[in-house]
Structure 1
Amino acid sequence: MNFPSHPKSPAEPVSSEGVIAASAYVDGRRVANIAIEEAASWRAKPGHVVWIGLYEPDLTLLISVQKQFDLHDLAIEDANNAHQRPKIEQYGDGLFIVARTAQLIEGRIAFGETHLFVGEGYLVSVRHGASTSYTAVRERCESCPRALARGEDYILYAILDFIVDNYSPVLETIHEEVEQIEDDVLANPITRTQVERLYMLRRDLLRLRNAIGPLVEVCRRLEHDNLPMVRATMRPLFRDVTDHVRNIQERIDSMREVLAFAFEASLLVGQAQETAVSKKLASWLAIIAVPTAVAGIYGMNFKYIPELQLEYGYFIVMGLMAFICAGLYWRFRRVGWL
C-alpha cells in the first residue's frame, strides 16, 4: 500500500474523532494539550515529549500523524490494518511495536491490538478492538513526574506493562470458572453444555497464549538489543515485563492442563457411573433369572414332570427360590454391586 507524499505546507486542521489524548510534557509534567497538526512543532522544542493516544483512527488521521513525525509508510499501513501479530520493527531512528490486548466479554476472550510508534520526543499509541483505555496509564505517569521525565521509553514501558497486567483479570475470572467446573465434574455427570464450555475455554486460552507468546521476543529485544530511544537504564524494566509475560504463559498452561484433567475426570466419572448401573442391572437380572427359570420349567405342558404330585412341592420350590434369591442378593451386596 503506497501513501501519497505530503508537501511541506502548513498543516491543515484534522478531525479530533479518534484522538483520545494529545499532550506535550517537559520534565514529566504536562505543559499543554495539543492538536495533531501542532505535534511536530512541540516535539521540536528542546526537552519536550509528545504523547498521543488514538482509538481506531481512520486513514486520514493516521496520515496526519505520519506527517507530523515522518513515520514509515509500512508502519502506517500496519496500524491501519489491525490484524498483526506482536512484533517490533525499526524504521530509521523510530520503533514500531505491536501488542495484543484481551478482555473478557460475555464469557469469551475478545482480542484487540495496540500499535506503538516511538521516536525521539514522541510516542503514539493506536488502539483497535477490545482494549482497556490507557487513560489510567497516563494518569499514573503524570502522578509521578520524576518517572515520566525519563522520556518516551518510560511511556513505552508503562503501556506494555499495563497491557500485560490486564491479562491477569481475564485469567483470574477463567480460573474461578475452571475451579467451579472441576468441582461440578467430580460431583455430577458432565452435561453437553459443560463439555462445550470446556472446549471453548481451552480454545480461548490457546488463542490467548498464541497472542501473547511473541510479546516475549518483543520485550527481549527491548531489553538486549541496542535499539534507538531505549536507554540502558530502562532495560531492567523491560526485563520485568518479560517475566510477567512468562508468568502469564505458565498460568495459561496450568489452566489448560486443569481443563484437560477436568474433561478426562468427567469421562472417568461417567464411565464409573455407567459401570455401577450395569452391575446393578446384572445383579437384579441374575436374581430374577432363578424364579424365571424355575417357573419356565414347571410351566411346560408335560403330564409327567418330577415333583408335580408332591403334597408340599409348591412350598418347597417357593422356599428354594426365595433362599437362592436371598443368597444372591447378599452376595451382590457384599461385593458392592447392589
Structure 2
Amino acid sequence: MGATRRVGRVFSRRTPLGSLPLDLVGSGKLDGALVDWAYYRDGHRDTRDGNYVDALARARRGVGFVWIGLFQPNERQLAVVGEEFGLHPLALEDATEAHQRPKLERYGETLFAVFKTVRYVPHDDLTATSEVVESGEVMVFCGPGFVITVRHGGHSELAGLRQVLERTPERLAAGPGTVLHAIADHVVDSYLAVAASVQSDIDVIETEMFSPRGWRNIDRVYQLKREVLELKRAVAPLAGPMRALATLRHPLIADEIRDYFRDVDDHLLRVKEQVVSFDELLSSILQAGLAQVQVSENEDMRRISAWVAIIAVPTLIAGVYGMNFEHMPETSTKYGYYVVLGGMATACTVLYRLFKRNRWL
C-alpha cells in the first residue's frame, strides 16, 4: 500500500480538526464522508498508525481490527474503500443507494448487513400531515480485520455506540462480530423506543375517534397508519437476517456473540408483533371511523326526512285551500281558518312526537 493509496481522516462536525494526524488532513479522497475510524487491539483503541490503511495491514496479520464510519458516501468514495478492503461490487452498489430492504448477505468471508433505522418525530398535536416516524439506514461490512459502517439519514449516528463499546474493551476484544451485534442491538432498541411512543399516539387517536363526532379525525388515523407502515417496513424484513445471525456459523461471530444475537432476535420478535398489532388496531379504528361516517350520514338523512314529512302536512293543506275555487268547503264558515290552522299544528305535533320517539329527531 503506497502513499498514493492512503486515505486521510477528514474534518467533520464530530471530529475536531486539531485531533487529526497532520498527514491525514486534506487528502480529499473521502471528504465529507469519513466520520471516524479507529484501530482496536485487544479491545483498546491503538493510535500508533497514522491512517487506516496501515492499520488494516496490521489487522490482516491477525492483530485487532479497524472500524471505519462513513456518512452518505458517494460512488467514487465507496469505490476507494472497496478497493482497499476488497469489498464485493454488488455490496458496494447497495451501499451507495439508500432505501434498501433489511438483509444479510455473505460475500466470501465478508458479511454485508443492512439495517433500517427509525426515529420518532415529536409533535404537539397529531395532524393529517404529521411525520411520526423518520427512517434511515445503516449498512455494515464485517470482514476479517475490519468493520465498515455506512450511514444514510441524519439520525442514524453511531458515535455514542462507539464510545460505549470503547468503555468495555473486553467486548471489543472479541472482534468485528461484537460491533455487528452492538449495531443490531442498538437498532432494535430504537425500534422498541419508537414503538412505545407510537403506542401513545394510537391511544390518543383511539380515544378521540370514539368520542362524539370522532369520525372527523379519520384523516389523522389514516396518516398514523401510514407512519406505522413505515415502521413496519423497517422491522418486519429484519426478522430473517436477525434469525440468520443468531444461528450462523461464521469465523467472525464467536459462539458467545451468537448467544447475544439470539437475545436481539427475541427483542425484534417482540417489537414486530407489537407493530403488527398497531397496524391491525389502526385498521379497525379506520373501519370504525368509516362506519361512524355512514351512521352519521344515515342520521342526517333521517332527520332531514322527518322535517320534510312534518313540513309536508301544512304545505299540503295550504295548497288545497289555496286553489281559490268558488265552492270550497268551510271557506264561508266563521271559524274555518282557525280550525285549519289548528289541524295543521296538531298534525305537525303528532308527527314531531312520533319521529322524536323513534329517534329520528
TM-score by length of 2: 0.80
In 1, Cα distance between the equivalents of 2:139 and 2:204?
37
1:250 shift after superposition: 1.9
Q: Which of 226, 238, 241 is equivalent to 2:264?
A: 241
* 8 A Cα contact 1:39 1:68, kept in partner: no
1:282-297 aligned at under 5 Å gives the runs 282-297=305-320
**3-state SS of the aligned residue for 2:5?**
coil
In 2, Cα distance between the equivalents of 1:320 and 1:77?
86
In 1, Cα distance between the equivalents of 2:62 and 2:276?
48
Q: Which of 115, 125, 129 is equivalent to 1:99?
A: 115
1:264 shift after superposition: 1.8
> 1:250 matched to which residue of 2?
273
> 2:96 matched to which residue of 1?
80
In 2, Cα distance between the equivalents of 1:60 and 1:300?
92
1:311-326 aligned at under 5 Å gives the runs 311-326=334-349
In 1, Cα distance between the equivalents of 2:304 and 2:109?
78
1:46 shift after superposition: 5.0
Deviation readout 1:109-131 (Å, 9 max, x if unpaired): 44322221112332111112344
Distance 1:312-1:58 versus aligned 2 partners, 3 A rule: closer
Give, as a single letter, the amino acid of the residue that structure 2 aligns with 1:269. Answer: Q
Identical-residue share of aligned pairs (%)? 36
Q: Which of 69, 92, 98 is equivalent to 1:53?
A: 69
Q: Which of 15, 29, 38 is equivalent to 2:44?
A: 29
- What RMSD, in angstroms, separates the aligned Cα atoms of the two structures? 2.6
In 2, Cα distance between the equivalents of 1:81 and 1:330?
70
Q: Which of 217, 221, 227 is equivalent to 2:240?
A: 217
In 2, Cα distance between the equivalents of 1:179 and 1:257?
14
In 2, Cα distance between the equivalents of 1:73 and 1:314?
98
In 1, Cα distance between the equivalents of 2:223 and 2:5?
49
Q: How many residues are treated as equivalent by the alignment?
A: 329
* 8 A Cα contact 1:112 1:131, kept in partner: yes
> 1:231 matched to which residue of 2?
254
**3-state SS of the aligned residue for 1:227?**
coil
* 8 A Cα contact 1:103 1:111, kept in partner: yes
Q: Which of 140, 151, 155 is equivalent to 1:127?
A: 151
Matched, 1:142 2:170: no
Give, as a single letter, the amino acid of the residue that structure 1 aligns with 2:185. Answer: D
* 8 A Cα contact 1:24 1:42, kept in partner: no
* 8 A Cα contact 1:50 1:121, kept in partner: yes
Q: Which of 4, 7, 24 is equivalent to 1:14?
A: 7
In 1, Cα distance between the equivalents of 2:151 and 2:57?
24
Matched, 1:176 2:200: yes
Give, as a single letter, the amino acid of the residue that structure 1 aligns with 2:103. Answer: K
**3-state SS of the aligned residue for 2:47?**
strand
Structure 1, unmatched stretches of 5+, are 1-7
In 2, Cα distance between the equivalents of 1:265 and 1:84?
35
Matched, 1:272 2:295: yes
1:159 shift after superposition: 0.4
In 2, Cα distance between the equivalents of 1:316 and 1:80?
89
**3-state SS of the aligned residue for 1:166?**
helix
Give, as a single letter, the amino acid of the residue that structure 2 aligns with 1:214. Answer: P
* 8 A Cα contact 1:43 1:122, kept in partner: yes
> 1:4 matched to which residue of 2?
none
Structure 2, unmatched stretches of 5+, are 11-30, 122-129
Give, as a single letter, the amino acid of the residue that structure 1 aligns with 2:329. Answer: P
1:229 shift after superposition: 0.9
In 1, Cα distance between the equivalents of 2:97 and 2:180?
21
Distance 1:75-1:286 versus aligned 2 partners, 3 A rule: closer
> 1:3 matched to which residue of 2?
none
In 1, Cα distance between the equivalents of 2:238 and 2:70?
21
> 2:17 matched to which residue of 1?
none
* 8 A Cα contact 2:35 2:69, kept in partner: yes
> 2:332 matched to which residue of 1?
309
1:289 shift after superposition: 2.2
In 1, Cα distance between the equivalents of 2:133 and 2:73?
23
In 2, Cα distance between the equivalents of 1:33 and 1:325?
98
Deviation readout 1:232-257 (Å, 9 max, x if unpaired): 22222111222222222222222222
In 1, Cα distance between the equivalents of 2:313 and 2:83?
95
Give, as a single letter, the amino acid of the residue that structure 1 aligns with 2:311. Answer: I
In 1, Cα distance between the equivalents of 2:303 and 2:86?
79
Distance 1:313-1:100 versus aligned 2 partners, 3 A rule: same
